[in-house]
């Protein structure tokens, strides 16, 4: 990945980025062609009105030709009407194209993020990733919906205006354009000042978003340790910085617009000064004077708009740079995807497996063991010994550097990733529940699972009676992360989620570590049914769960130290025995206290 560009400098326009952005417009090329034609019409129709005004004054009003005047008025009205219709069509088409392109970019980003490995998600904060799909994409809205076309239209309008002015009177046109260098200097200074302010403003907005994300997530810790005042002061500093930057931005806009108006007034003054003496001699007509006054007023609007659009374009470049940096990330899990996984026939084998998260410190070293079909294998060890890493590699969440994992003698790299995960269910210590109904959280949108099946499995796990106490039963919608449920209830729901998929391989990763005694009894009663006839891997601290295992694997500092049954390992008086005694003493102490 090329790095985080959220607070990056606004550099010169990168035309390579523009080219990549324009690729998103290819599916809508026909609409773009229509928009370009409409842009040509709209930019032409505006300068026509002053020209027709000149004709009306010089040819009809001066000659008292009422019939001719009525005709030219109808023509001007027709031009205004056609211009309005064309502008409406142009605006609607470009807004539709813009929103369609944003939809495509969001979808492309979302699909890409889903394919990236866990390593990418470990390195990048959630807030940053969400910003890419939301704020950064939305900042492209003006670019696609109006920015590029409007810039094109403004340039065309300027050319049409200057062209009509030269056509009507060359000398008066040159007089009018004397102030152009001054206008360019003012516009350039404004653009530079505002560019820096917008850059700093986006950086501060990023800070306040990150601050709020951490504050809201850790609100309980904030209140427990009485940090409200301290954090309020920190928030106030960032908030004031944003306020000051916005005020400075308003200040420069407040200077820029009057400056442009003043330059426009100078141009009008020059036109009146030059025309006054020449009208008397007959070299310039009243109609020419009025037309030039209208052109002078029209000329400065697109100049001002172009300056604003340039800032919009730079904002879009900064956002697109970050978007493409994400899309260009190729942190994928490599796989051949040749073989469809159906079921485990013989065994799972970890063969000389070594793994590191950062390619420097080995988390697992030379792991060798085998799990036969139908076996229940427990993996135990101190925190940080590498137990969960083994599961992550089996599920293809990370790429291992050495050795291999074989299922029925075939490397898991050769199995289709989706078909493999479809046959594996995992119950984790930290349960993630979506803001959906109980039923949807159990089935996760799997249409093959019926309501009756969910009811049946919930009854087997002892979760059914609790669900009936909820306002709408299985149709009760969960709050964010299921906060209205206790840890034990969320754990039971997670067991239901794993059970209803009828997995070929079941993994329990510290699945019973956060539950109360009552919930533990419910799960203990259901575990026999869940594990029966199913290949299972259990990572657990609770001895009651470990004792079920046909084989216990003891891992310490990323290496396998012991393998055997509970009784065999106790007799060896090794690491497992120490873990067992430590937990037994804790259980005994807790029972005495209670």
Q: Give pLDDT, residue 418.
A: 83
- Three-state secondary structure of 307-325: HHHHHHHHHHHHHHHHHHH
Closest CA to 536 of 418, 375, 387: 375
User: Helix, strand, coil % (nearest 5) of the chain?
Assistant: 65, 10, 20
Q: Give pLDDT, residue 584.
A: 56
Give SS3 for 12. coil
* Residue 196 C-alpha from the chain's centroid: 25
Burial class for 74, CB neighbours closer than 10 Å (0-12, 13-18, 19+): exposed
Q: Give pLDDT, residue 533.
A: 77
CB neighbourhood size of 529 (10 A): 13
Q: Using CA atoms, how far apart are residues 525 and 475, in angstroms rounded to an integer?
A: 26
Q: Give pLDDT, residue 63.
A: 85
Give SS3 for 327. helix
At 449, give phi and psi (nearest 5°): -95, 120
Q: Using CA atoms, how far apart are residues 218 and 238, in angstroms rounded to an integer?
A: 19
Give SS3 for 54. helix
Pairing type for strands 347-356 and 362-372 reads: antiparallel
* Residue 218 C-alpha from the chain's centroid: 22
Q: Give pLDDT, residue 10.
A: 46
Burial class for 144, CB neighbours closer than 10 Å (0-12, 13-18, 19+): buried
User: What is 408-429 written as a DSSP string?
Assistant: TTEEGGGB-HHHHHHTEEEEES
Q: Give pLDDT, residue 2.
A: 40
Q: Using CA atoms, how far apart are residues 191 and 252, in angstroms rounded to an integer?
A: 9
Q: Give pLDDT, residue 588.
A: 41
Q: How far is CA 319 from CA 11, 15, 113, 530, in A?
A: 12, 14, 17, 49
Closest CA to 430 of 388, 393, 378: 388
Q: How far is CA 149 from CA 42, 86, 156, 260, 295, in A?
A: 11, 14, 10, 23, 22
CB neighbourhood size of 92 (10 A): 11
For the chain, the distance separating the N- and C-terminal CA atoms, rounded to the nearest angstrom, is 54
Q: Give pLDDT, residue 222.
A: 83
Q: What is the largest CA-CA distance in the chain?
A: 121
Q: Using CA atoms, how far apart are residues 70 and 60, in angstroms rounded to an integer?
A: 9
Pairing type for strands 362-372 and 505-509 reads: unpaired
Strand segments (E) across 316-439: 347-356, 362-372, 376-380, 402-407, 410-411, 424-428
Q: Give pLDDT, residue 518.
A: 67
Q: Using CA atoms, how far apart are residues 478 and 159, in angstroms rounded to an integer?
A: 60
Beta carbons of 572 and 400 less than 8 angstroms apart: no
- As averages over each run of 10 residues, the pLDDT of the chain (594 residues) reads 40 72 88 89 88 88 87 90 90 88 90 82 74 79 74 86 90 86 84 78 76 78 83 90 90 86 85 82 84 85 77 76 84 72 90 87 92 90 85 88 92 87 83 83 84 85 81 81 73 83 85 64 71 83 72 91 89 85 56 44
Quick one: CA dihedral 371, 373, 379, 384, positive or negative? Answer: positive
Q: Using CA atoms, how far apart are residues 410 and 391, in angstroms rounded to an integer?
A: 18
């Amino acid at each position: 990945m090329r790095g985080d560009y959220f607070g990056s400098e606004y550099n010169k326009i990168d035309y390579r980025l523009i080219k990549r952005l324009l690729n998103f417009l290819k599916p809508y090329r026909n609409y773009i062609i229509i928009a370009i034609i409409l842009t040509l019409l709209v930019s032409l129709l505006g300068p026509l009105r002053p020209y027709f005004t000149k004709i009306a004054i010089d040819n009809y009003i001066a000659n008292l030709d009422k019939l001719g005047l009525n005709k030219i008025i109808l023509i001007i009205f027709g031009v205004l009407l056609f211009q309005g219709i064309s502008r409406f069509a142009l605006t609607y088409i470009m807004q539709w194209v813009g929103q369609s392109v944003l939809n495509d970019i969001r979808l492309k980003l979302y699909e890409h993020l889903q394919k990236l490995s866990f390593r990418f998600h470990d390195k990048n904060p959630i807030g940053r990733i969400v910003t890419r799909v939301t704020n950064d994409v939305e900042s492209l809205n003006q670019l696609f919906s109006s920015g590029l076309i409007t810039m094109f239209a403004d340039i065309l309008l300027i050319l049409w205006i200057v062209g009509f002015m030269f056509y009507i009177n060359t000398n008066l046109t040159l007089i009018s354009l004397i102030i152009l260098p001054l206008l360019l200097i003012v516009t350039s200074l404004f653009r530079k000042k505002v560019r820096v302010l917008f850059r700093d403003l986006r950086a501060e907005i990023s800070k306040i978003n990150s601050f709020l994300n951490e504050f809201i997530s850790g609100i309980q810790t904030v209140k427990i340790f009485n940090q409200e005042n301290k954090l309020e002061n920190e928030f106030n500093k960032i908030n004031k910085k944003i306020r000051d930057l916005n005020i400075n931005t308003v200040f420069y806009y407040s200077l820029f617009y009057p400056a442009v108006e003043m330059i426009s007034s100078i141009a009008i003054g020059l036109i009146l000064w030059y025309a006054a003496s020449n009208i008397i001699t007959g070299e310039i007509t009243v109609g020419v004077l009025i037309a030039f006054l209208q052109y002078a007023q029209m000329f400065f609007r697109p100049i001002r708009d172009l300056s604003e659009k340039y800032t919009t374009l730079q904002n879009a470049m900064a956002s697109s740079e970050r978007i493409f940096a994400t899309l260009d990330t190729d942190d994928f899990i490599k796989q051949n995807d040749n073989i469809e996984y159906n079921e485990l026939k013989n065994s799972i084998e970890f063969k000389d497996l070594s793994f590191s998260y950062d390619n420097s410190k080995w988390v697992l070293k030379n792991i060798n063991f085998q799990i036969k079909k139908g076996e229940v294998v427990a993996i135990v060890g101190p925190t940080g010994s590498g137990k969960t890493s083994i599961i992550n590699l089996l599920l293809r969440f990370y790429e291992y550097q050495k050795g291999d994992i074989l299922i029925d003698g075939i490397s898991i790299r050769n199995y289709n990733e989706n078909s493999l995960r479809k046959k594996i269910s995992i119950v984790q210590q930290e349960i993630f529940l979506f803001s959906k109904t109980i039923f949807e959280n159990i089935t996760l949108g799997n249409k093959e699972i019926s309501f009756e099946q969910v009811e049946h499995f919930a009854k087997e796990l002892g979760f059914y009676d609790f669900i009936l106490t909820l306002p709408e039963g299985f149709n009760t919608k969960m709050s964010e992360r299921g906060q209205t449920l206790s840890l034990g209830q969320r754990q039971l729901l997670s067991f239901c989620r794993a059970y209803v998929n009828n997995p070929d391989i079941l993994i329990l990763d510290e699945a019973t570590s956060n539950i109360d005694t009552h919930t533990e009894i419910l799960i203990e009663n259901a575990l026999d049914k869940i594990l029966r006839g199913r290949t299972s891997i259990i990572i657990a601290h609770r001895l009651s769960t470990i004792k079920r295992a046909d084989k216990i694997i003891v891992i310490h500092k990323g290496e396998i130290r012991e393998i055997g049954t509970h009784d065999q390992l106790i007799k060896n008086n090794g690491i497992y025995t120490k873990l067992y005694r430590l937990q037994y003493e804790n259980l005994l102490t807790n029972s005495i206290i209670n």
